[in-house]
Amino acid sequence: MKPLCILVLLALVSLSGCGGGGPAPDPGVPDAVVGVSVTGTDRLASHASTVLTAVVEGTGTFSSEVTWSLLSGGGSLSATTGASVTYTAPFARADTAVTVQATSEGDPSKHGVFTFTVARAPAASLLDGAYSGFRSVEGTFIPTESPPRVEQFTLEPVSDTRVRLKPITGFPQGVLVDVHEDGTLAIPPQEGPASRYDKYCFRQQYFMREESSGPAGTGTWDAQGNLSLTWVSQRELECIGPGGPFPGTHSTSTSEITSVFTGRRDEASWPPAPSLLVGVYEGTYSFSETTSPDTGPETTQSGTRAFTLSIEQAEDGRFLLKMIDDHPEGIPGTVQNDGRDLGFSAFSKPPTESGEGCQRQLFIGWFPPPAGAGWGSWGNRGELSLLWVSRSETVCTGPDGATHRTFSSTFNTFTGRKR
């Protein structure tokens, strides 16, 4: 058997010497970023949010990190770095193209650009505001030669397709108006509450009744703020004669008034004036905090609670968000986008002592800029919605001279109404 083993061994050695072990190793490919792509939704509602994602492609070993920037269209990004980012749209009076860019940190010459559309706000939201113009009236007890008079009405959204018209005689809560995307308006039939007129007339009540030719009222509107409305209101008066009731002394009369209003939205409806925001707001506060010590695992906590905050006007035309933990001096903000949106700029505070051997530094937003610290929206009836990011870095030096750092970031939201 030994001669056979020797022959096999010689054969293996011969094959190895002839290159039978396979091809030579691949010398490798260069480390390089090839490109960046960004994906997301093609269309987004006004004031809505969406997640955008960036993918870095390359060869060899390369960084997958990107830096986000908003090139055009307005709105806010939730971060400047990371594989994904949350974009929040502004209030849009018309369809608006938004362009976002993700730039490779490994090779800044490589970037991906993504463009999408922020849709025009719902029709009712576009009408929100005060309107001044001329109103002419004609009715049972009104001379036809009565000249038009200057009046102001307000339109308040109650849904995406309906607003409330105020003030209207006999309708203390206002009159509901249907808003159509084609620029037309319609007032459906409705009635106001009954009330006493005097000691003889025990019921006075106003109605918007459907006319033979269509709804109780019609009108037109456009995105530039022009408004026209025509409506017919009826008043019913139910009375009894003195000493009654007796047969024949009870009566019900009806009078009718036709109103025609033509006006335009006041520029002051949404002024970029922080003074309108000043006040105390009550609502719900939620947070999600991530803590990352360099000596242990990352932890996350979250919570929701009733919360009260206040807004004060700053000297430079900005406002201050007050009653926020760790920031008694207030978080500065600005009113943006036709006065409906709010924005906060990133800033840092000087380090302060935080226990023996430790210093803590607080930040609002992603620092340094260009990313914002947060954003929000508000309504002229006291509604307030806010989102902001707060961060901290704590540096501690031990007795042995070793330095340890702990980072934390908190995602904060508040939804409430002015007290």
Return the higher-pLDDT residue of 81 and 21. Answer: 81
53 in Cβ contact with 84 (< 8 Å) = yes
The residue ranges of every structural domain in the chain are 34-121, 124-266, 274-418
Q: Which of 114, 34, 111 is nearest to 66 (CA)?
A: 111
Q: Which two tokens stand for residue 68?
A: 């986000």
How far is Cα 49 from Cα 385, in angstroms, rounded to an integer? 13
Please state, in angstroms and as integers, the Cα–Cα distance from residue 263 to each residue in 132, 135, 290, following that order.
Answer: 5, 9, 52
CATH of domain 34-121: 2.60.40.2410
pLDDT confidence of residue 342: 79
Number of H helices, E strands in the chain: 2, 29
128 pLDDT exceeds 90?
no
Give residue-wise pLDDT tens across range 45-67.
Answer: 888 889 999 999 999 889 899 99
Q: How many residues does the chain have?
A: 419
40 residue type, one letter: G
How far is Cα 256 from Cα 238, in angstroms, rounded to an integer? 15
Stretch 233-245: mean pLDDT: 76
Contacts with 350 (C-beta within 8 Å, 6 or more apart), sequence order: 361
368 pLDDT exceeds 50?
no
pLDDT confidence of residue 97: 94
Please state, in angstroms and as integers, the Cα–Cα distance from residue 331 to each residue in 256, 283, 325, 362, 395, following that order.
Answer: 55, 18, 11, 12, 24
pLDDT confidence of residue 346: 73
How far is Cα 238 from Cα 67, in angstroms, rounded to an integer? 72
**Share of residues in the chain with pLDDT > 90 (%):** 21
DSSP label at residue 166: E
pLDDT confidence of residue 317: 62
Give residue-wise pLDDT tens across range 152-182.
Answer: 999 988 888 999 999 998 899 999 999 998 8
- Cα angle 294, 79, 389; round to 5: 75
131 in Cβ contact with 156 (< 8 Å) = no
Task: Tell whether the torsion through CA atoms of 175, 180, 183 and 189 is positive or negative.
Answer: negative
